[in-house]
């Protein structure tokens, strides 16, 4: 499983009519637009989406192809196309499915508590489904679960004095922070998996090589932080702790923005 700087797939790229029909469970919609005829299908769309998610969880989004998924399900690729017309629509269905895994935030938590819960849910979801970050969601799947998450996020800050534009900007700010923090954590996890070496082992291997090369006069602050870490005055790296710290500072900024208005 690889995590590069760019997405490998993009949501919202399938046929709009088919995507909306599949996302919302519109009855009788087939790839050609006509009602399905013939014997009862062996699988449901839900079963196909669940199998695709399981495969992506195990091997990454790159493992998903219509042929590979058909083999996993024990059907022919042509049969799979009668359920989902292409990988583009399948990715939308996968995203909407995982978006519905978590409950709505507590309405009594206040705007800050609700945004905290939503951000933590997104963090946890990405740990379960790391392929999520391989999908560019600038044009999100317009399914019921994705829209429910959008509604929950926007309603969390509704009625606190923000304009509609500011509400959109605040939710984008939180979403961008979470996505960046999650990407960093997953990349760290993946490089440890691929190399078989922890960050502590990597630093232990490289630090002696830098001795005599790093001039404290040129890098005084870097050296100071490094010495504090070696002396045990700093805890080992913890991506979830850093995520929580950054999230609260982002919310502090939003709170100050609201107060200053």
Per-residue pLDDT tens digits for 195-236: 999 998 998 899 999 988 999 999 999 999 999 988 889 988
**Amino acid 2: pLDDT:** 47
Nearest to 146 by CA among 21, 24, 250, 8: 24
Give me 166's structure tokens: 């500011």
- 33 CB contacts (<8 Å, ≥6 apart)? 17
**Amino acid 123: pLDDT:** 97
- pTM (2 decimals)? 0.87
**Amino acid 83: pLDDT:** 95
**Amino acid 1: pLDDT:** 46
Nearest to 60 by CA among 5, 112, 1, 127: 1
**Amino acid 43: pLDDT:** 84
Nearest to 98 by CA among 140, 36, 38: 140
**Amino acid 41: pLDDT:** 65
**Amino acid 108: pLDDT:** 76
**Amino acid 205: pLDDT:** 94
Q: Which domains does the chain have, with CATH numbers?
A: 9-99 (1.10.10.60), 107-200+240-260 (1.10.357.10)
Give me 185's structure tokens: 């954590």
- Across the chain, mean pLDDT equals 90
**Amino acid 39: pLDDT:** 52
Per-residue pLDDT tens digits for 133-160: 899 999 999 999 999 999 999 999 999 9
Question: CA 149: distance to chain centroid?
Answer: 13
**Amino acid 105: pLDDT:** 85
**Amino acid 224: pLDDT:** 95
Backbone angles phi, psi at 4, to 5 degrees: -95, -175
Which residue ranges in the chain fall short of pLDDT 70?
Answer: 1-7, 27-41
Identify whether the C-beta of residue 49 lies closer than 8 Å to the C-beta of residue 87.
no
């Amino acid at each position: 499983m690889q995590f590069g700087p760019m997405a490998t797939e993009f949501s919202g790229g399938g046929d709009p009519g088919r995507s909306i029909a599949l996302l919302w469970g519109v009855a009788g919609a087939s790839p050609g637009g006509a009602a399905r005829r013939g014997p009862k299908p062996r699988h449901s769309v839900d079963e196909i989406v669940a199998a695709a998610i399981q495969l992506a969880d195990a091997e990454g989004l790159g493992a998903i192809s219509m042929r590979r998924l058909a083999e996993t399900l024990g059907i022919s690729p042509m049969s799979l196309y009668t359920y989902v017309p292409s990988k583009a629509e399948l990715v939308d269905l996968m995203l909407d499915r995982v978006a519905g895994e978590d409950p709505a935030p507590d309405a009594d938590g206040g705007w800050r508590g609700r945004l905290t819960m939503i951000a933590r849910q997104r963090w946890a979801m990405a740990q379960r489904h790391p392929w999520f970050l391989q999908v560019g969601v600038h044009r999100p799947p317009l399914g019921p679960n994705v829209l429910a998450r959008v509604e929950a996020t926007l309603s969390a800050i509704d009625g606190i004095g923000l304009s509609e534009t500011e509400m959109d900007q605040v939710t984008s700010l939180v979403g961008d922070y979470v996505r960046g923090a999650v990407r960093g954590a997953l990349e760290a996890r993946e490089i440890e998996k691929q190399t078989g070496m922890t960050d502590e082992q990597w630093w232990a291997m490289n630090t002696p090589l830098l001795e005599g090369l790093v001039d404290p006069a040129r890098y005084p602050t870097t050296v100071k932080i490094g010495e504090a870490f070696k002396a045990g005055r700093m805890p080992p790296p913890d991506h979830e702790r850093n995520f929580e710290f950054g999230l609260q500072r982002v919310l502090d900024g939003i709170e100050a923005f609201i107060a200053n208005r």
